[in-house]
Structure 1
Amino acid sequence: MELSITGSSNKMSVSDVVFGREFNQDLVHQVVVAYRNAGRAGTKAQKTRAEVNGTTKKSKKQKGGGARHGALTAPIFVGGGVTFAAKPRSFDQKVNRKMYRAAMAAILSELNRQGRLQVVESFDVAETKTSGLVAKLKGFDLGRRPLIVTEDASEHLYLSARNLPYVEIRDVQGLDPVSLVGADSVLVTADAVKKIEEWLA
């Protein structure tokens, strides 16, 4: 298949495996959830009634004082333990390499079908200026949350986008399913497309 290059009459021949793949919602959902879970710390910890610092002596007489209670470390008391206390755990989910690459190709293919993927010959800024990047982005219809993918994101480009809250700059190596799914549209350079093909084909 071929991809049109924005601002040029040329077209780019690309692999159907990467940019013409059928969309698999279940696979994409699984990979996105696994990717996000891998970023979770899983360090939350609470104390059970056995771990709370306090005496386990019976707080009052069994009879004559209303409700019958034992230790003040019980979960019903302020300062007591937590009934189902959270403990450190790993949220990692196993996703093999073949599944991950298939999901990435499915997302890129769907973006292409929806007209949310634009290819350009090159994209960069000459100096670190946010205003310069904003002016350059006005020449493209990218929506509110654009993702710009280059073969090797320059420091000027990265720093220029740092103050723009909804603009993301990624190189091919840093591309991930969450950034692709969350973008209104994706602007990719021709060199980045070739590198993505080598990675996913």
Structure 2
Amino acid sequence: MEINVTDAAPLQVAEVVFGAEFNENLVHQVVVAYRAAGRAGTKAQLTRSEMSGTTKKFKKQKGGGARHGDYRAPIFVGGGRAFAAKPRSFEQKVNRKMYRGAMRSILAELNRQGRLQVIPGFGIEQPKTQGLAGKLSQLGAAGHVLLVDDSAADALYLAARNLPHVHVVDVAAMNPVSLVGADRVVMTVESVKKIEAWLA
């Protein structure tokens, strides 16, 4: 299949990558797993046995209403938690075939919706924000914009640093969450070829 390239001839790409059928369930599972893997999972609370303080019985057993042992019980303010949270991993298993399938599905859907734009190159030699802003304005890229470059030179990173909602990644750092959350994905021809070699 062919994919349009701005100010250049159309590019022949593999239909299995940029023309794949959209699998919503697979994309959802991979996106959730990717975000879950980024969670620290370091939340920790104290149980009754881990609380500091005396274990002395604070009143007599009978004649005082309810029977209690010490103030570290969960029913008291400042006491331990009955079911305390402990550090844990939120990681979910996603095998390589599922991840690649989700990436193909996302890229194909972006192409169908007209949110994927391919250009010959960014042409950013100096780390000037004004130059990149002008380039994006010419391309009509607005909102949350993801720039995918095959090499992602420092000049491009620095030029985009002061632009809100504009993010630069190379092909290796491209992930399903950044693709799904972008209003417009702009990538170079070389990036498309690398992605095709990776996912085809």
Band the TM-score falls in, shorter-chain normalisation: over 0.9
Match of 2:61 in 1: 62
Residue 143 of structure 2: aligned partner: 144
- Asked if 1 retains the 8 angstrom alpha-carbon contact of 2:145 and 2:185, the reply is yes
**In structure 2, how many angstroms separate the alpha carbons of the residues matched to 1:88 and 1:124?**
47
For 1:172, the equivalent position in structure 2 comes to: 171
Q: Which residue of 1 aligns with 2:112?
A: 113
Cα drift, residue 66 of structure 1: 4.0
Alignment of 1:32-181 (within 5 A): 32-181=31-180
SS at match of 2:177: helix
Distance 2:136 2:10 in 1: 22
Shift of 1:127: 1.1
SS of residue matched to 1:118: strand
| Contact in 1 for aligned 2:61/2:68 (Cα 8 Å) | yes
TM-score (norm 1): 0.95
Structure 2 matches for 1:11-30, cutoff 5 A?
11-30=10-29
- Distance of aligned partners of 1:124 and 1:73 in 2 relative to their CA distance in 1, 3 Å threshold: farther
Q: TM-score normalised to the size of structure 2? A: 0.96
Tell me the amino acid that sits aligned with residue 87 of structure 2. P
Q: Any unmatched runs of 5+ in structure 1?
A: none
Q: 1:45 & 1:33 partners in 2: Cα distance?
A: 23
**Alignment check: 8 A CA contact 2:136 2:142 kept:** no
Post-superposition offset of 1:177: 0.3
Q: CA deviation at 1:145?
A: 0.4
Q: Secondary structure at the match of 1:47?
A: coil
Matched, 1:2 2:2: yes
**How high is the sequence identity, in percent, across the aligned residues?**
63
Root-mean-square deviation (Å)? 1.2
Preserved CA contact (<8 Å) 1:124 1:154: no
For residue 18 of structure 1, what is the amino acid of its counterpart? V
Q: Quote the Cα distance in structure 1 between the aligned partners of 2:117 and 2:92.
A: 32
Amino acid at match of 1:170: V
Aligned partners of 1:165 and 1:44: how far apart in 2? Answer: 31
Kept in 2: contact 1:56–1:73 (CA 8 A): yes
SS of equivalent to 1:50: helix
Match of 1:196 in 2: 195
Conservation of the 8 A alpha-carbon contact between 1:37 and 1:91 = yes
Asked if structure 2 preserves the Cα contact closer than 8 Å seen for 1:22 and 1:109, the reply is: yes
Structure 2 unaligned regions, length at least 5? none
Given that 1:44 and 1:88 are in contact with CA atoms closer than 8 Å, whether structure 2 keeps it comes out as yes
Q: Deviations over 1:66-116 (max 9, x none)?
A: 443221001122321112111011111110001000000000000000010
